[in-house]
Structure 1
């Protein structure tokens, strides 16, 4: 059962970039949180699919186009792949949402399976793949059950941007990744930096720490009617969701404990969305202007391999 929220933390743009809402620390059973998140993302799938931000029609029209997320990730990922390419490799995309990044990976020649827990998201993803002429398999399950649901090991496991906050059990998450990888396989991960979640996002004049960095077992309840896209937020009927924030050390250690070998840990000055009012656009990304650009990391990337 859910306990009453305590100590509300107003948040203009939350760390996962989904618009406006109030954050509270709560206690809730995992099944209830999972169900709420699934219905929330079922609603958001419709909004995102109709938005120019995701631009599904543009992806379909241009068979060589890839998403901005994958365009950012590919040069880093392929440096750790045999032959420097995804061509001919088997790849699982965890928390794939509506499949724009999944399609982009398939266009690199990989045999791709997308995994997500949102039925509506996968409906959009399957339609997108079909209209784009891409042979992509989609599996619906919780991310921590993917190794069992996918039923095969692969060369690459990929997950990027706005995913880790939806994982309740880091140990199970890391073991799932290890279970999906063949010996010699590569795991790629990029997300917003946990430091970003600590910043006061209601003060547009300064960048300062306000919220906790070490999340641990804290569950965050968010009632959020907004969207980070140009889609219609009125379509979001189920506004409640639950997140878990982790220190970088917690995420890294979970992968090491699962037997993976860390090959890269990098921090970045760019992000895929405007998480703070002070951020300014730079190409397809958002950055903090000086002097904050050199003071606060906005993203981080991990690459690990399985012996």
Structure 2
């Protein structure tokens, strides 16, 4: 299928188109961030612990808010993203904030061609691995960049969430990675009424595929957690049951919405 083989260019264009809309959105609260607000959640902070002085590689950083938050926390941070528009804006914000944060634009699979160093921590979070057809190639990149005993930290939306249609009325997609999911979407999770229309190509990955890809590429899994809420109000049909904790109304706490992983490079 031609669209599938061209998924990188299709998705890159979509994320380029979303970048400025996201920067201007209430969801990303750029003013708050520029004024010093941290963009990290307790889910990932508990796994990261003290990162002062650590060298961190942030995969799929969008326009770099979390990456720059790492810099503010005393880490030496490098952010990678497919979208040249997002990386351009990330560099602008880092300069404005006088932060020594590095940003590189490339496809994640190609990152070893662009960076020649090892890291204490490799980090990725929220809405990331669904853009990859092959998790073994992704995990090879994670493993490649970690120093011996380096830590991999990940938080993402649970694959159970991606089984449902947009309004959570029926199980619409396969839990397992059986085929590319090609969608035409309007708006964006950060600004649902935005005048955006875009094609996306993604893949669902079950938990077993995620964990085994990491294990098979030399990581020891130290911790795997599941959460019955999302720290972001980015889905339809949600309710906020505690500050900054969102669930699907009709499901309550019956389904997992987020998971996190901590692994160590052997």
Same fold (TM over 0.5): yes
Does the 8 A contact of 2:189 with 2:235 survive in 1?
A: no
Question: How many angstroms does 1:164 deviate by?
Answer: 0.9
Q: Which residue of 115, 122, 125 corresponds with 2:87?
A: 122
Q: In structure 2, what is the equivalent of residue 305 of structure 1?
A: 264
Partner SS state of residue 94, structure 2: helix
Q: In structure 1, what is the equivalent of residue 173 of structure 2?
A: 211
Distance 1:254 1:114, change over 3 A: same
TM-score when normalising by structure 2: 0.93
Partner SS state of residue 261, structure 2: strand
Gaps spanning 5+ residues in structure 2: where? none
Q: In structure 1, what is the equivalent of residue 160 of structure 2?
A: 195
Deviations 1:221-270 (A, max 9, x none): 11112112248722x36x11110111110010000010110011111111
Distance 1:52 1:180 in 2: 34
Question: How many angstroms does 1:200 deviate by?
Answer: 4.4
Compute the RMSD of aligned alpha carbons: 1.9
Distance 1:147 1:119, change over 3 A: same
Deviations 1:136-192 (A, max 9, x none): 111111112223322110000000001011112211100000000000100011111
Distance 1:223 1:232 in 2: 15
Deviates more, 1:192-201 or 1:102-111: 192-201
Q: In structure 2, what is the equivalent of residue 240 of structure 1?
A: 199
Number of residue equivalences: 265
Distance 1:55 1:280, change over 3 A: closer
Q: Which has the higher contact order (CA 8 A, sep 6+)?
A: 1
Distance 1:286 1:141 in 2: 32
Does the 8 A contact of 1:92 with 1:154 survive in 2?
A: yes
Distance 1:41 1:266 in 2: 29
Aligned structure 1 segments of 4 or more residues deviating by more than 6 angstroms = none
Q: Which residue of 237, 242, 255 corresponds with 1:282?
A: 242
Indicate whether 1:152 and 2:123 are aligned: no
Distance 1:95 1:283 in 2: 26
Distance 2:135 2:22 in 1: 27
Does the 8 A contact of 1:56 with 1:128 survive in 2?
A: no
TM-score when normalising by structure 1: 0.81
Distance 1:278 1:99 in 2: 26
Q: Which residue of 13, 16, 41 corresponds with 2:15?
A: 41
Gaps spanning 5+ residues in structure 1: where? 3-26, 79-84
Q: Which residue of 23, 35, 38 corresponds with 1:66?
A: 38
Question: How many angstroms does 1:278 deviate by?
Answer: 4.5
